[in-house]
């Protein structure tokens, strides 16, 4: 409810009563007008203080969800307020119970895009004590732990196959890390940086890498490249989600390469939760 109509209506009402009082000389009319003005002032201004003083904290949240799916956040609110999630959107929750002091409420939010949420924005609104006017403020509520929002499961489809004959670090074909550790050997071009065995390197003075047994599986390597356009990136992430989830369902091991805020990440994807988190963290190419 906007503030303009009730405030203007209140002013007009009080002015009308005041003018009647001053034309008739009736003190009681003025007294009733003052009373109405006091009620209106309290009803219109008190929610402002109530909303301003409201505190909202999130005490419990899940770590994973999927875009478009509602997830419940446990929040503690102080004051008789209504909480409405803004980012991500959600449904209203009233925190005006019968109990005094802080109240615990369940706020359902529905993220519509993938991503990692560390905060949510809620609108804390109050019309206490008379319900004449809602005053609201946006509150940024930190989550106890990041909420990974996986992309929706897109339409099933095949991934584009890529043949890469380059060597060394330029090799796009991702080597498997799934074998059992076998020993240490000298570095050879094409070895991953992360396979460098630093204690042995330090001991021998030569760059040494850890070597694994021959892989027992033959993972599918998925290189995820998201386009700069957010919508296109979302659709691409959904497609990847669908493809990789299909691999995982069939028991095919998957190695996925994604660009994350900390840099490119190449890691085995064990399940759909891990898949969702990876895609939630994935960013587009600059």
The binding site for another protein (CB under 8 A) comprises: 13, 17-18, 20-39, 41-43, 46, 80, 82, 94, 96-98, 100, 127-132
Q: How far apart are CA 169 and CA 67, in angstroms?
A: 35
Minimum distance from CB of 90 to another protein (Å)? Answer: 16
Tokens at residue 225, please? 């490249």
Q: How far apart are CA 225 and CA 232, in angstroms?
A: 11
Looking at the Cβ atoms of 131 and 183, the one nearer to another protein is: 131
Looking at the Cβ atoms of 129 and 157, the one nearer to another protein is: 129
- Is residue 29 classed as helix, strand or coil in its secondary structure? helix
Instruction: Give strand ranges (E) for 219-270.
Output: 220-223, 254-260, 263-269
Minimum distance from CB of 141 to another protein (Å)? Answer: 20
Q: At which residue do the structure tokens 């732990």 appear?
A: 145
Tell me how far CA of residue 91 lies from CA of 79, 87, 88, 97, 135, in angstroms. Answer: 19, 11, 10, 17, 18
Minimum distance from CB of 20 to another protein (Å)? Answer: 7
Looking at the Cβ atoms of 33 and 88, the one nearer to another protein is: 33
DSSP 177-203: --SPEEEEEE--TT--GGGB-HHHHHH
Looking at the Cβ atoms of 23 and 202, the one nearer to another protein is: 23
Q: How far apart are CA 8 and CA 26, in angstroms?
A: 24
Residues in the chain: 286
Looking at the Cβ atoms of 23 and 249, the one nearer to another protein is: 23
Encode 35-67: b = buried (16+ Cβ within 10 Å), e = exposed.
eebeebeebbebbeebbeebebebeebeebbbb
Minimum distance from CB of 14 to another protein (Å)? Answer: 9
Minimum distance from CB of 36 to another protein (Å)? Answer: 6
Are 111 and 88 spatial neighbours (Cβ–Cβ below 8 Å)?
Answer: yes
- Find residue 117's DSSP bridge partners: 147
Looking at the Cβ atoms of 25 and 251, the one nearer to another protein is: 25
Minimum distance from CB of 30 to another protein (Å)? Answer: 5
Q: How far apart are CA 71 and CA 274, in angstroms?
A: 18
Looking at the Cβ atoms of 38 and 273, the one nearer to another protein is: 38
Minimum distance from CB of 89 to another protein (Å)? Answer: 20
């Amino acid at each position: 409810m906007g503030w303009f109509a009730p405030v203007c209506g209140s002013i007009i009402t009080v002015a009308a009563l005041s003018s009647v009082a001053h034309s008739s000389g009736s003190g009681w009319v003025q007294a009733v007008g003052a009373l109405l003005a006091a009620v209106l002032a309290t009803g219109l201004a008190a929610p402002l203080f109530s909303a301003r003083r409201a505190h909202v904290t999130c005490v419990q949240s899940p770590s994973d969800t999927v875009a478009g799916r509602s997830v419940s956040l446990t929040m503690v609110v102080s004051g008789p307020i209504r909480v409405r999630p803004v980012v991500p959107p959600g449904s209203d929750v009233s925190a005006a119970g019968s109990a005094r002091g802080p109240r615990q409420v369940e706020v359902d939010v529905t993220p519509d895009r993938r991503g990692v949420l560390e905060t949510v924005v809620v609108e804390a609104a109050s019309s206490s004590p008379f319900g004449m006017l809602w005053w609201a403020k946006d509150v940024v509520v930190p989550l106890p732990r990041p909420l990974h929002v996986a992309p929706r499961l897109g339409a099933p489809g095949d991934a584009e196959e890529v043949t890469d004959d380059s060597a060394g670090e330029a090799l796009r074909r991702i080597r498997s890390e799934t074998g059992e550790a076998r020993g240490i050997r000298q570095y050879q071009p094409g070895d991953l940086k992360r396979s460098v065995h630093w204690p042995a390197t330090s001991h021998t003075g030569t760059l040494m890498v850890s070597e694994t047994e021959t892989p027992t599986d033959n993972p599918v390597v998925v290189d995820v490249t998201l386009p700069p356009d957010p919508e296109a990136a979302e659709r691409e992430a959904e497609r990847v989600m669908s493809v990789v989830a299909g691999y995982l369902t069939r028991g095919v091991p998957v190695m996925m390469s994604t660009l994350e805020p900390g840099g490119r990440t190449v890691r085995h994807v064990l399940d759909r939760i891990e898949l969702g988190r990876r895609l939630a963290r994935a960013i587009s190419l600059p």
